[in-house]
Amino acid sequence: MRLVLLGGPGAGKGTQAKALAKHWKIVHISTGDLFRYHRDHGTELGLLANRYMAQGQLVPDEVTEKMVEDRISQSDVASQGGFVLDGFPRTVPQGEALSAILASKHQHLDAVLYIFVPEEVLEERLVGRRVCPQCQANYHVSLNPPKIADTCDVCGATLIQREDDQPLTVRTRFKVYQEQTSPLIAFYEKRGLLRTVDGNQTPDQVTRALVSAVGTVADD
Ligand code: AP5
């Protein structure tokens, strides 16, 4: 199973990618998480990526494509029988690069799942989001607060706000999404791979809708 999740910032790609990876026992590949891992470990790639991430801009295509190609080629992807990509591709050139990477391995995508959520809902989710820097658990100040204010329920670490979840940066991310990522909707629709799901429901409802949408691709 090889899947791509598309959707605006905060649409629930990370949340759903984890659920789908568990459902099909495939590997979750998040370019945002990979960049944050490199940033937190002070690697050259991480320092470069952070210059763009902190501003809400995209990391250059060639850097991102190389990182994804390396990750897709790791042995766990073959042994677990596939992946769900969360945050890649994010530009049409990245979509073309992904097709070329897969073609070189005689592989193809099974489906591209577009999680649609209105922008005002996304904004509320992002500016209220708090994350655990230690175990990556996610909270929301009012929609999903931790039991003790600013403290992770899972590991007790102090929660932080992602630098790119500041209101001004969130607005830049929406603009970048509209200009550079949304053209991928038509790109994958043309290739018969796109399935659109309402992301403005509970996370469990969204997961069920995504699993059923992949079923319709298998039936095509
Ligand atoms: P990335 O981390 O991928 O950021 P993003 O796409 O903006 O997505 P988010 O992680 O903010 O949200 P999400 O859609 O995963 O939603 P989540 O499940 O967390 O990328 C960060 C940066 O890295 C980019 O800006 C860019 O600089 C760089 N980058 C990454 N990929 C790149 C690429 N391919 N090319 C170039 N640069 C790249 O949910 C959001 C919140 O909502 C959470 O609090 C969650 O608990 C809550 N939530 C989720 N689902 C629901 C629901 N159904 N109902 C209510 N709340 C929900």
Q: How far is the CA of 35 from the centre of ligand 1 (A)?
A: 12
Q: What is the per-residue pLDDT across 131-189, written as a single tens digit (0 to 9) for each?
A: 999 998 999 999 899 999 999 999 999 999 999 999 999 999 999 999 999 999 999 99
For the entire predicted model, the pTM comes to 0.94
Euclidean distance between CA atoms 130 and 162, whole angstroms: 7
Q: Tell me which residue has tokens 């199973």.
A: 1
| pLDDT beyond 70 at 65 | yes
Give residue 217's pLDDT.
59
| pLDDT beyond 60 at 219 | no
Q: How far is the CA of 147 from the centre of ligand 1 (A)?
A: 23
The strand ranges marked E within the chain are 2-6, 27-30, 83-86, 111-116, 129-131, 138-140, 194-198
59 assigned ligand-binding residue: yes
Residue 193's domain comprises: 2-118+174-219
Euclidean distance between CA atoms 217 and 203, whole angstroms: 21
Instruction: Determine, yes or no, domain membership for 128.
Output: no
Average pLDDT of every residue of the chain: 95
Does 162 qualify as catalytic in the annotation? yes
* Residue with CA at minimum distance from ligand 1 atom 57: 12
Instruction: Determine, yes or no, domain membership for 214.
Output: yes
Give the domain CATH number at 195: 3.40.50.300
Euclidean distance between CA atoms 80 and 27, whole angstroms: 7
- Ligand 1 atom nearest the C-alpha of 9 is 7
- Ligand 1 atom nearest the C-alpha of 55 is 27
